Amino acid sequence: MPGKDPARSKRLQAELWAPRINAVEGHRAYVVVLIDMARARLPEDDPMWEALAGQLGQYLRQSLGEW
């Protein structure tokens, strides 16, 4: 696309998220930031969501028992 610079766009996105990622303390907070980033960048039909839901659901069922 004329006038678009994908490398610059990627760099600006990294600069936007860097303060939040660098301020994270602990695994839980890091996961929350990563999920927020994914929600902002990935479409609803991205296969990552299904994989993430499966893995998280499996872990929670094992940890907490069936719900």
What pLDDT sits at residue 43?
A: 95
Q: Kindly state whether residue 37 falls inside one of the protein's structural domains.
A: yes
* Separation CA 61–CA 6 (nearest Å): 41
Neighbours of 52 (CB within 10 A): 14
Does some domain include residue 47?
yes
Does residue 1 lie within any of the structural domains?
Answer: no
> What is the residue range of 22's domain?
6-64
Domain count, the chain: 1
Give 3-60 pLDDT, tens digit per residue.
788 889 888 888 888 999 999 999 999 999 999 999 998 999 999 999 999 999 999 9
Strands (E), 1-67: none
Structural domain contains residue 39: yes
State residue 48's pLDDT score: 96
From the list 14, 42, 36, the residue with the least C-alpha distance to 22 is 14
Neighbouring residues of 17: CB distance < 8 A, sequence distance ≥ 6 = 33, 37
